[in-house]
Structure 1
């Protein structure tokens, strides 16, 4: 077991007084590493470093910042095998899923490294004689990033790349369950040339350091990805302060299959959206809304696919689903399914697991259920491999069912009608909408984020992310008498 330290002020800092958090492999329960458990009293040093780093990084200039990000992407690609292995052991993803995550992380740094060459301001007209005006985008200063365990490399990259490209200093706190890969990424960025203090990592328990992490007076923005209750509480805590808040939270994402859909395509895509990454995606498909005219045929097709899913350790051959992230997550998912069954849900299909598998590791049986719109499984995010199906009559009932949720992250429709597709795009109350594609899988340059209790006004990814991490200054220059 190795202990990784935090990057603070350009130095790797190990645990003080032996305070550390052990990290385990969810497939085996084996301890694979440890990180420092920082206290509130240690955060002052972190923000002192970030304050100094913000000044140095802003002065570095956009082209030099972009070069560092592109060099970091090359290092991520060069060390992809090691990073993939760490994600598999730390989070439980299959090797294919972990490898894809590493590739996406590199793309984020490449994309925002290139964006450093884009204009960061423009001239605007001024009515005064001999005067011209301009608007300039500049860094905010110190930003705090709080990242989840389900995409432990991709989400830090998604936030770090635009934050650094825009010229900010960063304090990043990874999830307690999966901190090792974030510390490895920080070390890579340090080697790529990020100056001391520009990137600082904080590992520790949110219950002990969470409030202090966002309360420091030097914080200018907070970007959070995680559960809706925590995200909403963060919004309330920061209300009334001159601090930007970006929250990417939960989802209860629906896929609609209309009567004219290509059912084979729909089944293949929905399986990926619902059961990839063991359902541990905020964009995972969890509600299946099917036109009654094709419900029997679709149910038969998808039940066969669900029953054939193979569950096992992420590094095993032929595995479709690895474990969920922890024993706590396993227990929570199982409890929610049991509650839903007690409320009247019924099992349509589930694979038979290897005997003793759920006792050896944090494995969960994937399941396709039938339920109604009063069931808790219809309303509440499960964050596991659980897909529920209801039947509706026509488009109007389908879109009403899609929007019957406090969440509004992602939705999809399967149809061969251009009119139905365009109407769905217009009427679905979700931040992301797909036609004949899964609710998951948004590319690095696609603006990403949800409506209602799934998000906040600021989107991630693409050029929209740079708007969050920068501010606009307007300047007027009189050049003559």
Structure 2
């Protein structure tokens, strides 16, 4: 199989590099399918120089023209959806349908922020002084570093780049080492849409060799990160020392509650989709199902039937696959019962069969630790109060769902579940681009992503008063 050689975008130029980083298809990891440049620390410093120059140009560009570029990028993303979906499928392992959905939804982000960027960016406010008009306006921050994960290699960069660019910032994108091809194709669409040189730059390479140059450049005004908690906390401390604004979307231990009276077939289908879609590799995946004891057995039978027909793609890498299998093994050692579906898998891939864990108690590791794979804990509870307590029995607070026929229970759950995203009679996953997204507690920072809320992170507020008497 021929290895696809990729170039990266720096200062408006597509460049290669001596050596490179191999990218593997998790369905068959014997040979790489692509190779991306391995930038040096010196080249990363050059990236920031180009980004600073690009920012000066982009900030001075009319918001109307900026929006036109984003709109053209959305068109190109739709036109290239087949190619981009193929890259997502190859480097991440998503099924073709999942990859196509990610490619198409990515265009939504640029369409949305192309429209939002034309709307108001400030306001007039009252002033006690006579003959004085006061107000405030939002302005871009400067150079933004975006560090994105492997599980959504296209849509997560889009979630960050679209509002950052609409607000007038320049971006340095560092895609995950496992899945850089999608980010490069996104940068290609933005470049071809007319984005000025330096406004988007992509850093590919070996993290250990470029980490200091990537994180410590004094031109960084803000950093946005999606990934694990340990790395996120280290970044928060590192950036706080220099006053760099920081946004993080981190882990989750998301729960779905099924109460007596719920539509059990609908609940089973929705929870199976949320738990095992994308092989469970979603931050909003349901990892705990809390089911009223009176319907627990009926629900479990329906869930088993749903899972029996699921055929998720592989996990992203051998290391991640082995980590998920260790979580399952430890749970069984601690007393849980594991039900694995029969799944024929290629001998050289990273597949893990969908797994239901029962007999789990709060003392077990799997109750609290994020597995990030096709693993679902199912546990009985006695009523709504116990269910809410179990939902909140975690350091995380990203997403939760409830399935019920009670309007009262639904509203109580929305108020009491300590999570940033709450769903009623639908899945914990699948939030639209205009809906603010982000978690509480250890699931992230105070800054939300998506919707108009995202612009709060990517802008600063300047207040003015004009005396005209």
**Range of TM-score over shorter length:** over 0.9
- 1:318 alignment partner in structure 2: none
Q: 2:313 aligns with which of 317, 322, 326?
A: 322
- 2:373 alignment partner in structure 1: 384
Query: Do 2:28 and 2:346's aligned partners in 1 also have CA atoms closer than 8 Å?
Result: no
- CA distance in structure 2 between the partners assigned to 1:108 and 1:102 by the alignment: 11
Say whether 1:353 aligns with 2:354: no
Say whether 1:274 aligns with 2:265: no
- 1:23 alignment partner in structure 2: 23
- CA distance in structure 1 between the partners assigned to 2:465 and 2:241 by the alignment: 30
Query: Do 1:307 and 1:350's aligned partners in 2 also have CA atoms closer than 8 Å?
Result: no
* 1:251-270 alignment runs, 5 A limit: 251-270=252-271
- Unpaired runs of at least 5, structure 1: 311-320
Q: How many residue pairs were aligned?
A: 465
Q: Provide TM-score, normalisation by structure 1.
A: 0.95
Partner SS state of residue 452, structure 2: helix
- Return the offset for 1:211: 3.5
Say whether 1:460 aligns with 2:449: yes
Say whether 1:369 aligns with 2:365: no
Query: Do 1:226 and 1:249's aligned partners in 2 also have CA atoms closer than 8 Å?
Result: yes
- 2:197 alignment partner in structure 1: 196
- CA distance in structure 2 between the partners assigned to 1:65 and 1:98 by the alignment: 28
Partner SS state of residue 261, structure 1: coil
- CA distance in structure 1 between the partners assigned to 2:275 and 2:207 by the alignment: 29
* 1:390-401 alignment runs, 5 A limit: 390-401=379-390
- CA distance in structure 1 between the partners assigned to 2:12 and 2:84 by the alignment: 22
**1:266-298, Cα deviation, whole Å (9 max, x unpaired):** 001001100000000010000111110111111
Partner SS state of residue 443, structure 2: coil
* 1:29-40 alignment runs, 5 A limit: 29=29, 30-40=31-41
* 1:180-219 alignment runs, 5 A limit: 180-219=181-220
Partner SS state of residue 261, structure 2: coil
Partner SS state of residue 157, structure 2: helix
- Return the offset for 1:346: 0.1
Query: Do 1:306 and 1:350's aligned partners in 2 also have CA atoms closer than 8 Å?
Result: no
Q: 1:472 aligns with which of 450, 461, 464?
A: 461
- CA distance in structure 2 between the partners assigned to 1:475 and 1:304 by the alignment: 62
Query: Do 1:269 and 1:437's aligned partners in 2 also have CA atoms closer than 8 Å?
Result: yes
- CA distance in structure 2 between the partners assigned to 1:210 and 1:431 by the alignment: 31
Query: Do 1:53 and 1:198's aligned partners in 2 also have CA atoms closer than 8 Å?
Result: yes
- CA distance in structure 1 between the partners assigned to 2:122 and 2:382 by the alignment: 51
Partner SS state of residue 86, structure 1: helix
Query: Do 1:252 and 1:409's aligned partners in 2 also have CA atoms closer than 8 Å?
Result: yes
- 1:337 alignment partner in structure 2: 328
Partner SS state of residue 326, structure 2: helix
- CA distance in structure 2 between the partners assigned to 1:239 and 1:155 by the alignment: 23
- Unpaired runs of at least 5, structure 2: none
- Return the offset for 1:358: 5.5
Partner SS state of residue 149, structure 1: coil
- Return the offset for 1:241: 2.4
- 1:435 alignment partner in structure 2: 424
Q: Provide TM-score, normalisation by structure 2.
A: 0.98
- Return the offset for 1:205: 2.4
* 1:170-189 alignment runs, 5 A limit: 170-189=171-190
- Return the offset for 1:263: 0.4
Say whether 1:414 aligns with 2:415: no
- Return the offset for 1:191: 0.6
- 1:140 alignment partner in structure 2: 141
- CA distance in structure 1 between the partners assigned to 2:177 and 2:276 by the alignment: 24
- CA distance in structure 2 between the partners assigned to 1:212 and 1:188 by the alignment: 26
4+ residue runs over 4 A deviation: none
- 1:7 alignment partner in structure 2: 9
- CA distance in structure 2 between the partners assigned to 1:288 and 1:12 by the alignment: 47
Partner SS state of residue 289, structure 1: strand
**1:23-61, Cα deviation, whole Å (9 max, x unpaired):** 011111231111111222222101110111111000002
- Return the offset for 1:396: 1.0
- Return the offset for 1:384: 0.4
Query: Do 2:27 and 2:346's aligned partners in 1 also have CA atoms closer than 8 Å?
Result: no
Query: Do 1:26 and 1:326's aligned partners in 2 also have CA atoms closer than 8 Å?
Result: yes
- CA distance in structure 1 between the partners assigned to 2:297 and 2:378 by the alignment: 11
- CA distance in structure 1 between the partners assigned to 2:336 and 2:40 by the alignment: 45
